A and B are shown apart, each in its own frame.
Chain A
Amino acid sequence: MRFFLLQANDVNNAANYLPIGLQLLFAIGLIATIIVLSDWLGPKRKTADKLQNFESGIEIKGNARQPMAIKYFLVAILFVLFDVEVIFFYPYAVNFRELGWSGFAAVVVFVALFITGLIYIFKKGALKWEE
C-alpha cells in the first residue's frame, strides 16, 4: 500500500499533465479550424431579402428595438412595491389578536412609511399617465 502511494506521488507533477494539455489544445484547435473553414468555404448569397429578420415569411413591420415610455416601468415597479406591502398584512391578520396593541403600532408605522411614499409619488406626478 505504501509503495503504491509513493508511485502516485511521483506521477503527480506538472510535466505529466502535458499530454492532457496537448489533447485539450488539439480539441479546441480542431473545433476552431472546422468552424472557420466551413464559414470560409461554404457558399453564401448575401442579398437584402435574405438578411432581413425572419418573421415567418411575413413582411416585417419595423424593429422590435423601440424605446418604451418610462411610465410602464414606473407603474409596474410601484405595483410590485404595494403588492408586497399587502402580502405582509396576511401574517398580521392571522396573528391579529395575539400581537395586541404593540403589534398594531408596528403595523401602523409600517403602513405610515408606505403612505408617505405614496404621497411622495403623487406629488411627483409619477402616476399621471397622460403627461
Chain B
Amino acid sequence: MSRPVQFNNHVKFEGIPEGYMGEGFMATNFEKVVSLARKNSIWPLPFATSCCGIEFMATAASHYDLARFGAERMSFSPRQCDLILVMGTIAKKMGPILRQVYLQMAEPRWVMAVGACASSGGIFDTYSVLQGIDQVIPVDVYVPGCPPRPEAILDGFMKIQDLVNAEGLRRRHSDQYKELLAGYGIQ
C-alpha cells in the first residue's frame, strides 16, 4: 500500500525586480539583479566556539533548514564565504584569530554576532573574555539570546539578507565604509 506523500505547497518565490519587459527580453537595473543573486546565495562561515554553535547546528539541520535561504553551502575556509556567523564566547586570545579569519573572507563580507557572548561578552564579564566581537571586527547584525533559539538565528539571517539587498554596488567604496574599516585598523 502506498504511503501518503505530502509535498511542500508553501514555496515562496522571489519577486522579479522591476524593469522594462518585452517579448522575450527584460531590461532592469544591474544593481538589483546582483543584490537579488547575492541575498539568495549567501555562503556562511560558522565560527562556533560554544553553545550558540549547537543552536546553529539545529538551524542548519532539516527542521529549521537554513538551506531554504540559499545558504546550504557551509564553508570552513573563509575564501569563498560571504557571511561569518560568530557564535559563542570569544576569549581575548581568540580575538586576533577571528580578525584574521574575517580579513581573509571574500568581498563583500558580512558579520553576524549570534548570542550574548559574541554581542557583548554576555555573562563572562571577566578579564579574559572579549566584551563583544565588535571590538575587533565590524558587525552587521546582532542576535540576542543565551543562546538564541534557531528562529532568532533565522531572523538575524533574514536581517542580513535585507542588508545585502540594500547594499548596492558602491557602498564598499564609500568614504564612510573606508573610515569604518580604518577604525578597526583594517586595510
Q: How many A-B residue pairs have C-beta atoms within 8 angstroms? Tell me.
A: 36
Q: Which residues in A have their C-beta under 8 angstroms from that of B187?
A: 45, 47-49
Q: How far is the CA of A43 from the CA of B171 in the complex (A)?
A: 11
Measured between beta carbons, the chain B residues less than 8 angstroms from A45 are 107, 187
In the complex, the chain A residue whose C-beta lies closest to that of B181 is A45
User: Is the beta-carbon distance between A57 and B98 smaller than 8 angstroms?
Assistant: yes
Q: Which residues of B contact A (CB under 8 A)?
A: 77-79, 96-101, 103-104, 107-108, 169, 172, 186-187
Asked if A47 and B77 make an inter-chain contact with CB atoms under 8 angstroms apart, the answer reads no
- Is B172 a contact partner of A43 (Cβ separation < 8 A)? yes
CA distance A49 to B172 in the complex (A): 18
Nearest opposing residue in chain A for B108, CB measure: A43
* Pairs A-B, 9 closest by C-beta atoms: A57-B97, A57-B100, A57-B101, A47-B187, A49-B103, A43-B107, A45-B107, A50-B104, A54-B104
Chain A CB within 10 A, most for which of B77, B97, B98? B97
Residues of B within 8 A of A57 (CB): 96-101, 104
Some 13 contacts from A to B, beta carbons below 8 A apart, are A42-B107, A44-B107, A47-B103, A48-B187, A49-B100, A49-B104, A49-B187, A54-B79, A56-B101, A57-B96, A57-B99, A57-B104, A59-B100
